[in-house]
Amino acid sequence: MFSGRLTQAIVHLLDRVTPASDDDLPEHLRTGRRGEEDAYFYLRRRGYTIIAANYRSPNHRGEIDLVGWHGGVLCFIEVKTRTTRDVKPAEAAVDREKRDELRRVARDFLQSMPRNRQPGEYRFDVVAVYYDHGSEQATFELFQNAFSTAYNHKFARSH
């Protein structure tokens, strides 16, 4: 546990002292990247083994923020980061369109896995990361099995 927190502190320190191309990014994108990084360490502390970050499919638009194993279940994890809770909860941003996009990209990820490594189970988790009112310390809400793995083909064809 201590070594994970030490690694996280070192990564944050390196982010601050290393000249990065992120400086040209809008503030909300920098906040999102920071949230994904903090979510990675949060999930590790919760027992997840992360195997991919920012996975993009060559066949569909969108990306999966994190992919990892939690026990024997493969988890596709969407991270939503906010600096306030005043407007609406971060997890509310994972609407029907976003869920369908994640399902399509996850399906491509599964198809790219070797047959002998296919998971028996998989699920979609959402991590809400909050930096309330500019706080440096994040708070987290984890929604395991946040939505169904079933893809709504009828809805996708009509929109």
**What average pLDDT score do residues 100-128 get?**
91
Q: Read off the pLDDT of residues 117-128 as tens digits, 9 standing for 90 and up.
A: 778 899 999 999
**What average pLDDT score do residues 35-53 get?**
96
d(CA 25, CA 33): 10
**What average pLDDT score do residues 94-123 get?**
91
Helix 27-45 / helix 2-17 crossing angle, nearest 10 deg: 160
Parent domain of 63: 2-158
- The answer, yes or no, to whether residue 130 has pLDDT greater than 80, is yes
CATH of the domain at 60: 3.40.1350.10
Any idea what the Cα angle at residue 52 is, between residues 46 and 53, rounded to 5°?
A: 90
- The answer, yes or no, to whether residue 51 has pLDDT greater than 90, is yes
Q: Comparing 72-76, 90-94, 104-108, 141-145, which segment has the lowest mean pLDDT?
A: 90-94
Per the structure, the count of domains in the chain is 1
Contact 98/92 with Cβ under 8 angstroms?
A: no
